[in-house]
Amino acid sequence: MAFDQLFDENQGAAPQHTVADTVAAELHIGILRGEFPGGSQLKIQELADRFGVSTMPIREALRNLTALGLVQILPHRGARVLELSLEDMHDTMSVRLALEPLATERAAANLSGEDATLAMASLARMEAHIASNDRITARSDHRDFHLTLYRAAGSPWLLRLIEPLWQNADRYRFAYPLTDADQIESNHEHRLILAACIAGDAEAASQEMRSHLERTRTRVETVLIQAQQGASSPAGRSGKRPPESCGAPQSP
């Protein structure tokens, strides 16, 4: 079971969280916030002491995060957080571009009035939480918006395939936050996607999602390249941390 129930297919059922799920969720948030930057060693006993649990749920939590592409378990060497990179970002986004426009296209044919209301409410909450600088809650609202659409697509396989891509993409959203202008544009893109779905225009919904993801890829690519160039400059080599290891960002 994915620890944060991002794409829980049992709608309405209360998720049964284990200790490992809770630990995985805390570790995931720590990775997003930069508490565990890319390349960090995740030592099992140290984590067990930190969370006040035995090593068994720590091992299970690390396996969960490995399945989501956030952590790598090295034989006889423990685990480490995977680094952010242009190659990984491009790979993640190319697969998202193959799956999420398809999910949105199917959603446009099936979206109910209740789905539309839930999606609109998620967007409104997200924008309010961004305005109040509550990035973690805004992340949940952002997830809820997309989840509402993808569930309406009626394909459990699409949900299973999209989930790890979303978890990995979250790291880039947090490490390289949007500017205020880009955030306004992103909010507008979300509303165009929803409007096309409400109108039942599958082709337009798919295209709006594709355009949104392509613009997201371009934004992240730009700041990631700038961050890499900064890290290789004399100032960067002097010890200034790259964005990945900084604190919480300003938007999801």
Flag whether pLDDT at 5 surpasses 80.
Answer: no
**Least trusted range by pLDDT, from 60-74, 157-171, 238-252:** 238-252
CA–CA gap between residue 228 and residue 242 (Å, rounded): 8
Any idea what the Cα angle at residue 212 is, between residues 207 and 217, rounded to 5°?
A: 125
CA–CA gap between residue 136 and residue 27 (Å, rounded): 14
Provide the pLDDT for residue 223: 86
**pLDDT, mean of residues 242-247:** 41
In 3D, which of 142, 195, 175 has the Cα closest to residue 241? 175
**pLDDT, mean of residues 4-14:** 44
Residue 229 in tokens: 């160039």
Provide the pLDDT for residue 231: 65
Provide the pLDDT for residue 171: 87
Please name the residue that has the structure tokens 């242009």. Answer: 86
**Is the model more confident about 3 or about 150?**
150
Q: Which residues, at least 6 apart from 221, have a Cβ–Cβ distance to it below 8 Å?
A: 86, 89, 90
In 3D, which of 247, 240, 189 has the Cα closest to residue 219? 189
Please count the other Cβ atoms lying within 10 Å of the Cβ belonging to residue 212: 20
Spell out where the chain has E strands: 41-42, 71-74, 78-81
Residue 82 in tokens: 């995977």
Flag whether pLDDT at 150 surpasses 70.
Answer: yes
In 3D, which of 41, 36, 58, 38 has the Cα closest to residue 49? 58
Total count of residues recorded for the chain: 252
Residue 58 in tokens: 């720590």
Provide the pLDDT for residue 19: 92
Flag whether pLDDT at 12 surpasses 60.
Answer: no
Look at the alpha carbons of 216, 217, 222, 224 in this order and tell me if their dihedral is positive or negative: positive
In 3D, which of 184, 191, 187, 193 has the Cα closest to residue 211? 193
Rounded mean pLDDT of the chain?
A: 85
